[in-house]
Amino acid sequence: MSDDNQILIPPSFFAVYTDARQRLSEPIGVVRERYEICEDLASHLVGHAQIQHHTEVPVESEILRRIHAGLVAPESGVSAAEATWVVRRLAELLGWEDPELPEPEPEAG
C-alpha cells in the first residue's frame, strides 16, 4: 500500500507522538488516523463552544478549560496529549487565545 496520503499533519500534532529523540512513538498510519479523529473532533466542537459562549459561559478560556476537562476523562477516546491538542486547535479555529492548560502526563508504556 502506498503512503501517498494527501493529508498534511501539522508539526504540532506530530509532537503529540514524538519522543525525546524526535522519533515517532507510533507508526505513521496510526498517527495519521489519530490526527484525522482529533481534527474532526476539534471542528465538531466549534459549534458547541460558540453556543456555550453566547448562552452560558461568556469567558472563552473557561469554555476551553471545561472542554479540556471532559476530553481528558478516560472514556473520551483521546489521550491527555491529544485532548490538549484538540482544545488548542479548537481555540485556533474559533480565533480565541491559546488557553493555559495543564501539561499532559507522560503516557505509560
15: in domain: no
9: in domain: no
108: in domain: no
45: in domain: yes
89: in domain: yes
Neighbouring CB atoms inside 10 A of 109's CB total: 4
Which residues span the domain enclosing 77? 27-94
Residues 16-37 as b or e (16 or more Cβ within 10 Å = b): bbeeeeeeeeeeeeebbebbee
Higher-pLDDT residue of 97, 106: 97
14: in domain: no
Nearest to 45 by CA among 95, 12, 89, 84: 89
* Per-residue pLDDT tens digits for 84-101: 999 999 999 999 998 888
* Per-residue pLDDT tens digits for 51-61: 999 898 789 99
